[in-house]
Amino acid sequence: MSSRARILQRLRDRTDGALVPPESDFSVMTGRGWGVQERLERFERLISSVHAEVIHTRQASWTETLAEVLTAKAVRRLALGHEHPVPAEARAALHEHEVDLVDANRDIEAWQREQFETVDAGLTSTGGAIAETGSLWLWPTPDEPRLTSLVPPLHIAVLDAETIEDTFFDVVEAHEWSQGMPTNALLISGPSKTADIEQTLAYGVHGPRELVVLIRHREEST
């Protein structure tokens, strides 16, 4: 008999008999009832408290803000995709800028060392954010691969203000994540950090040292 069969049989032939699964009440996870402004404030307060930098901008002019960030952070090489509107608009706007645009949508085997050693920043879109914990959520795609938000020392994430929801539970339910998960789904709440040396907080251990969140507002809401 295989190990699988033995383990399952032991579990099924339980000495004290079959167990009755209880019903679950999830109400503590939802129904925060926050307004748009409150969600935005909470998100900003929490993600800032773990060292992320939040910059507000407008839908129409966000690429100008991006260019300012790149200049301020002395970014020379920026990794980004092509097809998603966020990298597409960034590319269109940045071709005059002195930054080198690095194609993120290439097989990593062809440029691993280049990515680890020469890219200063990665730009990605986000699926939305969570007010309760100050978290971004991302579903990486072939156009915006997983490592773009991890390997470069600076991660710039673009977030639309109206996509901030109350709780993680609300996001999972509202977007029906259980109907089909991507290869990799991520919550990101700040730059990489550790407290393993005598509980002293240090940022930028394995992943990005800095996280910049560009929050895009529609004209009427700002």
Contacts of 105 (CB under 8 A, 6+ apart): 81, 82, 83, 142, 143, 144, 145
Q: Least Å distance between CB 59 and other proteins?
A: 27
* Footprint on residues 95-154 left by other proteins (CB under 8 A): 104-108, 112-113, 116, 132-135, 141-142, 145-147, 150
Neighbours of 213 (CB within 10 A): 24
Closer CB to other proteins, 63 or 167, in the complex: 167
Q: Which of 39, 123, 207, 214 binds other proteins (CB under 8 A)?
A: 207
* Footprint on residues 65-94 left by other proteins (CB under 8 A): none
Does 7 contact other proteins by CB under 8 A?
yes
With contacts defined by CB under 8 A, name the span among 59-67, 70-78, 82-90, 191-199 that binds other proteins: 191-199
- Strands (DSSP E) found in 35-175: 53-58, 77-80, 100-103, 121-125, 128-130, 135-138, 154-160, 164-165
Closer CB to other proteins, 87 or 208, in the complex: 208
Cα(62)–Cα(65) distance, integer angstroms: 5
Report residue 209 CA to chain centroid gap: 15
Does 29 contact other proteins by CB under 8 A?
yes
Q: Least Å distance between CB 82 and other proteins?
A: 12
Q: Least Å distance between CB 157 and other proteins?
A: 13
Q: Which of 2, 33, 92, 95 binds other proteins (CB under 8 A)?
A: 2
Closer CB to other proteins, 67 or 102, in the complex: 102
Cα(77)–Cα(94) distance, integer angstroms: 12
With contacts defined by CB under 8 A, name the span among 61-69, 70-78, 86-94, 195-203 that binds other proteins: 195-203
b/e burial code for range 107-134 (CB count within 10 A of at least 16 → b): eeeebeeebeeebbbbbbbbebbbbbeb
Nearest of 48, 79, 71 to residue 215 by alpha carbon: 48
Cα(135)–Cα(66) distance, integer angstroms: 20
With contacts defined by CB under 8 A, name the span among 65-73, 86-94, 166-174, 214-222 that binds other proteins: 166-174
CB 42 within 8 A of CB 131: yes
Does 200 contact other proteins by CB under 8 A?
yes
Closer CB to other proteins, 67 or 207, in the complex: 207
